[in-house]
Structure 1
Amino acid sequence: MRWSDYSNGERIKILRGKDVNQAALAEMTGLSVATIQKAEQDKQLSLNTLVRIADALGVDTSVILGQQAPRRAMAQSDRTMLRSLSQAVHDTAAGILPETFAEGDEPALRAAIDACWKKYWQGYYTEAGALVVPVLAEAAVHLRERPAGAQGTAWGLLADAYRLAAYVANLMGSRDLAYAAIGHAQAAAERSDDELRPALVTSGRAWVYLRDARLDDALRLAEKAAVDIEPRFSRATADQLTVYGSHINFAAVVASRMQNKDLVKSYLSLATATGARLGAEHRAHGTLFGPVTADTQAVGIAVALGQAGKALELIRGIPESSLGALTEAARNRFAMDKAMAEADARMWNASLDTLEKALVRAPVWARHQALPSVIMQKVGRASTARVRRVSALIGTRPGIEPGLVPTAAKTAL
């Protein structure tokens, strides 16, 4: 079924999901349980009730009315976080800061930003976004309290907070918020005293473009970001190599989406050389790069180019023990790429096995990914019972169009 095929009451029930019962929604809206029940039974839905329910569920009224579908895998907690994050991004950019916030010191802010990145790379995007909300305000207050001529570092911290907000919004499909946040990050980065930050933000904008299917723009910015900070290997620091390696790797990803094999080959060669120069995975400015990252990303790029055989060959050359050096999100993505390569090679059961293990290991991360559903559409000749089991982990059910109904809500149907 499509989202528009449900009734208003069914859509409300789906949106609140299994984690919010009727009594809880009544408390959230200030309405009675009887009013909620009538709304879900399509007996009564006044404009006041509609507005209150939409606000509590973090959606536009048009979503409840079926005029537009909710974002894929968007649970009520996700929508609430995105609304708070949007307010924080726009308010801080407009100079609207909470008066109760004491000035945060630089070490505390750096630690808070690192904590946000940690949650992000663990795949806990809703938690990461929730943490960014107060960090944005604290970073803005910290900047305001710095004397003129001594704001470079503070601008850099604010740029990092905006970039985090953009990454969370982009991954969760809130494209307008991602564009706004990355724009504010760019303005802040250009006023910082760190030469790497503007390039980091430029690469972040390229990722927003990629998710928005603006491939030519994404490639142009990805190349610019890498060229702007290309180091001299003989005297480059580990931080410089990490940022450059991640940028050139991303340029290869964009080139693969454009099916430009020559560019892919060139960029992958540079990424591999950078990883080798580092010798091990290194973390800097919210990113991780090294030889293992370069190797695993090459697998995903081969899959994107339709080279399943090459992807499987690359996978066989990556020791399982080396994957522990990656972030949780990177390990999970590697598993998805492996499952996709196996599906493309018609290794149905192997693909299901890889996919199922990843879904069981990281259900929170998987909730925000489109690839599991794509893989399931490819795996059509495996055991029916197995397909049903893995489908249940993703949250898809026969008769429901994948990607329209939030995962938590699907289990409540």
Structure 2
Amino acid sequence: MARWSEYTTGQRIKILRGKSIRQTDLAEMTGLSLPTIQQAEQDKRLTLQTLLLLADALGADTAVVLGQQAPRRAMEQDDRAVMQALSRVVHDTAAGILPDTVTAPSIQTLEANAKRCWETYWKGGYLGAGALAGQLIAEAGARLREQPVGEQAEAWTVLSNAYRLAGYVANLMSARDLAYAAIGNAQHAVSHAADELSGALVMSGRAWIYLRDARLRESLALAEKAATDIEPRFSRATTEQLVAYGSHVNFAAVVASRLGNKELAADYLSQSHAAGARMGQEAAAHGTVFGPVTATTQAVGIKVALGQTGQALTLIGEIKPRHEEALSGAARNRYAMDKAMAQADAKLWDASLETLEQVLVDDPTWARHQALPSVIVEKVGRASTPRLRRVSKLLGVGAGSSEFLPATAKTAL
């Protein structure tokens, strides 16, 4: 497989265009003539104006088109367009620039819209959530602008929540600069809000961005502080408090496992299970989902990261299909990935590939934005079976080839 820089500029334009956009479509999108598009893709002629118009229409940086920078993993044209639009609204709103067409809904309407945005995110519809987050940010910014001074705390809370959602989407799409910008804006917004819980959620969100950027010790410090700041008294804790606390200590366990700290990970897992047991069932609040099933399924991934394959398989044996049905779409898919990895570590090649194949078939869009499927295929690559070839085809790679692995695969888990 050729490196991105080894393609010609014309070939890169064609790849970025993809199968869904014809040359005639690209001509219409840019206002350029069809012969100009054809000449650009044939490396015959490419002016600066043509380059800029093509880059804008394809939602890509000019550096990507010219081969100076590789496109982000799994990014298609529609993905790039959504992320480009989200980036604009994140930065423009922070600068006080709002479209003339944006209205200012009531706080209650914004809160209801935010809930629906998070529901889309947890179903695994990351692009849809990204598009909705952009609209939510602009509308929350408009509401903030119209609120009287001294009555803006609730609007700041909603805006912080919207920025945090944008940061989550950007983080999953490997748009690291946008993720940092969005969570930074969320932190500024929450500093004006009167909601201690929202502050901890933003802190935890920054910890997750640090985790995917391989800043593990900084991530752990933030995750621990976020959990400590909102630790409730279980005897009087509300469901919303337990959702927030349980998800926070669970994430702290994840970070501890990435650092190889078994004792700390076990301690946080114990607290996570206690919160889940207290709740009795899954619940959603403050843009996150948690409960006893989430605590157990996420423990599988933590055990895998710590190399405790036997314990991971034991937990998998305790999780029944009816338990999985309680999870959100994204959480269910992630558990399947962790399960497949545990099976691969145990050299249960066929079982691992069967688990992975089911996710790839059931939710290919979600899987396209994940690094773990490629890592799993690489791990079982020595088992040359018909299923391995099918799974590799679904991923668009050659069976057992390490060339398709993203450079950030290990830190993105």
Partner of 2:249: 248
Per-residue deviation, 1:52: 1.4
Is the 8 Å Cα contact of residues 101 and 141 (structure 1) preserved in structure 2? yes
Write out per-residue CA displacement over residues 75-113 of structure 1, whole angstroms, 9 at most, x where no aligned residue. Answer: 111111111111101111111112332221122211221
Structure 2 counterpart SS, 1:108: helix
Partner of 1:31: 32
Cα distance in 1 for residues equivalent to 2:163 and 2:22:
34
Structure 1 counterpart SS, 2:104: coil
Per-residue deviation, 1:27: 1.1
Per-residue deviation, 1:8: 1.3
The equivalences for 1:135-154 within 5 A come to: 135-154=136-155
Cα distance in 1 for residues equivalent to 2:116 and 2:5:
40
Partner of 1:123: 124
Cα distance in 1 for residues equivalent to 2:327 and 2:71:
32
The one-letter amino acid of 2:205's match is: G
Q: Does 1:402 align with 2:396?
A: no
Cα distance in 2 for residues equivalent to 1:22 and 1:96:
34
Partner of 1:58: 59
Is the 8 Å Cα contact of residues 70 and 404 (structure 1) preserved in structure 2? no
Cα distance in 2 for residues equivalent to 1:100 and 1:30:
25
Cα distance in 1 for residues equivalent to 2:286 and 2:181:
21
Write out per-residue CA displacement over residues 173-199 of structure 1, whole angstroms, 9 at most, x where no aligned residue. Answer: 111111111111112112212221000
Aligned Cα root-mean-square deviation (Å): 1.5
Is the 8 Å Cα contact of residues 378 and 402 (structure 2) preserved in structure 1? no
Cα distance in 1 for residues equivalent to 2:311 and 2:45:
58
> Quick check: 3-12 or 358-367, which moved more?
3-12
The equivalences for 1:316-355 within 5 A come to: 316-355=317-356
The one-letter amino acid of 1:361's match is: D
Write out per-residue CA displacement over residues 32-68 of structure 1, whole angstroms, 9 at most, x where no aligned residue. Answer: 1222112212222222222211111111111122111
Per-residue deviation, 1:234: 0.9
Partner of 1:408: none
Is the 8 Å Cα contact of residues 71 and 403 (structure 1) preserved in structure 2? no
The share of aligned pairs that are identical, in percent, is 63
Is the 8 Å Cα contact of residues 308 and 341 (structure 1) preserved in structure 2? yes
The equivalences for 1:211-290 within 5 A come to: 211-290=212-291
Partner of 2:50: 49
Cα distance in 1 for residues equivalent to 2:29 and 2:59:
11
Per-residue deviation, 1:327: 0.6
The one-letter amino acid of 2:276's match is: G
Per-residue deviation, 1:400: 8.9
Cα distance in 1 for residues equivalent to 2:403 and 2:28:
31
Cα distance in 1 for residues equivalent to 2:150 and 2:106:
17
Per-residue deviation, 1:150: 1.6
> Quick check: 16-25 or 294-303, which moved more?
16-25
Per-residue deviation, 1:403: 5.1
Cα distance in 1 for residues equivalent to 2:10 and 2:312:
46
Runs of 5+ unmatched residues, structure 1: 406-413
The one-letter amino acid of 2:177's match is: D
> Quick check: 394-403 or 95-104, which moved more?
394-403
**How many residues get paired?**
405
Structure 1 counterpart SS, 2:105: coil
Partner of 1:309: 310
Higher relative contact order (CA 8 A, sep 6+): 1
Is the 8 Å Cα contact of residues 139 and 158 (structure 1) preserved in structure 2? yes
The one-letter amino acid of 2:404's match is: P
Runs of 5+ unmatched residues, structure 2: 408-413
Per-residue deviation, 1:395: 2.1
Is the 8 Å Cα contact of residues 103 and 138 (structure 1) preserved in structure 2? yes
Cα distance in 2 for residues equivalent to 1:204 and 1:29:
37
Cα distance in 2 for residues equivalent to 1:36 and 1:162:
37
Partner of 2:210: 209
Cα distance in 2 for residues equivalent to 1:154 and 1:123:
27
Per-residue deviation, 1:269: 0.5
Q: What is the TM-score when the length of structure 2 is the normalising length? A: 0.95
Cα distance in 2 for residues equivalent to 1:404 and 1:313:
31
Partner of 1:12: 13
Cα distance in 2 for residues equivalent to 1:364 and 1:51:
29
Partner of 1:409: none
